[in-house]
Amino acid sequence: MKRPRLGILISGRGSNMLAFIDACARGELDADIAVVLSNKPGAGGLEKAAAAGIPTACIDHRDYASREAFDAALVGELERHDIDAVVLAGFMRILTPVFIEPFYGRLFNIHPSLLPKYPGLNTHQRALDAGDAEAGVTVHFVTPELDGGPPVLQARVPVLAGDSAETLAARVLEQEHLIYPLAIRWFLEGRLQLRGDGACLDGEPLPPTGIDFCAQPR
């Protein structure tokens, strides 16, 4: 039986990508990373992926006249690798339907806030500015709405006195590395699905903010 094949898209250092590499190596995720793609030639994660023996490719968005043309090139590269699920791991490009539609229902993102709070950028500073008592991270299906796809899994961390955006981000990142491979494992096991406009786990609709990781037996 063919092992599931993942395509991981990055724009930077690839810390969540490394979490997937580690999860596969430990046997926690029964999958192969078929390719790591970046839109930035100097992305540090490309070198790390290559060092792990994973095929890499760079498709520079600056070489394309439109977002749609760039997205079509991404689709072509992923389809060449026979991908079963696409993992956005710090991929800093807004995707168009040209990319989303071919992978709809098997396209995932991780966003560093407790969605629906704080879609977009600067999430940690926005949580601090609002005086929030907690912050966190959300794994969600990708749909055409920016950071608006159905949440699957959330992890929460307390906001501590004296926190900066950087210290808060570091604690959130630790949780990212735990919950993202878990959500993809559920999907590859056939437990997690996108149905209509909502996410389902084991046939049951998930809450609007997804599952609380702290309360979830793993």
pLDDT 10s digits, 161-203: 999 999 999 999 999 999 999 999 999 999 999 998 799 999 9
Confirm if 103 and 86 have CB atoms less than 8 A apart.
yes
The answer to whether residues 99 and 15 belong to one domain is: yes
Please identify, among 55, 79, 103, the residue that sits at the C-terminal boundary of a domain.
103
Residues of the chain by 3-state class (helix, strand, coil), percent to 5: 35, 25, 40
Tell me: pLDDT of 217 over 70.
no
Verify that 96 and 144 share a domain, yes or no: no
Q: Are residues 10 and 71 in the same domain?
A: yes
CATH code at 96?
3.40.50.170
User: Do 5 and 73 have their domain in common?
Assistant: yes
Residues 90 and 116 occupy one common structural domain: no
The domain boundary residue, chosen from 42, 75, 103:
103
The band of 29, judged by pLDDT with boundaries at 50, 70 and 90, is very high
Are both 170 and 122 inside the same structural domain? yes
Question: Would residue 111 show up in a list of annotated catalytic residues for this protein?
Answer: yes
Under a CB-based contact definition with an 8 Å cutoff, are residues 136 and 115 in contact?
A: no
Number of structural domains, the chain? 2
85 plus 136 within the same structural domain: no
213 plus 118 within the same structural domain: yes
pLDDT tops 60 at residue 46? yes
pLDDT on residue 196: 83
What the block records as the tokens of 28 is 């926690």
- Statement to judge: residues 136 and 73 lie in one domain: no
**Is pLDDT at 216 greater than 70 in this prediction?**
no
Q: How many whole angstroms separate alpha carbon 194 and alpha carbon 172?
A: 25
Instruction: Please check whether residues 151 and 54 belong to one and the same domain.
Output: no
User: Which pLDDT score is estimated for 214?
Assistant: 80
Q: Which domain holds residue 176?
A: 110-218
pLDDT for the residue numbered 1:
73
Phi-psi sector, 27: left (phi>0), alpha (psi -120 to 50), beta: left
With a cut of 70, say whether residue 54 has pLDDT above it: yes
pLDDT band for 218, please (50, 70, 90 cuts). Answer: very low
Pair 116, 172 in one domain? yes
Catalytic one among 61, 111, 124, 140?
A: 111
Q: Residue 53: left (phi > 0), alpha (psi -120 to 50), or beta?
A: left
Task: Give every strand in the sheet of 192-195, ordered side by side.
Answer: 192-195, 198-201, 204-205
Query: What is each CA distance from 96 to 49, 111, 197, in whole angstroms?
Result: 26, 18, 18
Residue carrying the six token digits 């995932």: 108
- The overall average pLDDT reported for the chain is 95
Q: Residues 78-134: pLDDT tens digits?
A: 999 999 999 999 999 999 999 999 999 999 999 999 999 999 999 999 999 999 999
- Looking at residue 206, its pLDDT comes to 97
Average pLDDT over residues 29-58: 97
H or E element that contains 77: helix 67-80
pTM of the predicted structure, to 2 decimals: 0.95
Tell which of 103, 136, 155 closes a domain. Answer: 103
Query: What is the number of residues in the chain?
Result: 218
For residue 62, the number of C-alpha atoms closer than 13 Å in the C-beta half-sphere is: 2
Per the listing, tokens 């060092």 go with 51
pLDDT at 41: 94
Number of other residues whose CB lies within 10 A of the CB of residue 47: 13
Please check whether residues 84 and 152 belong to one and the same domain: no
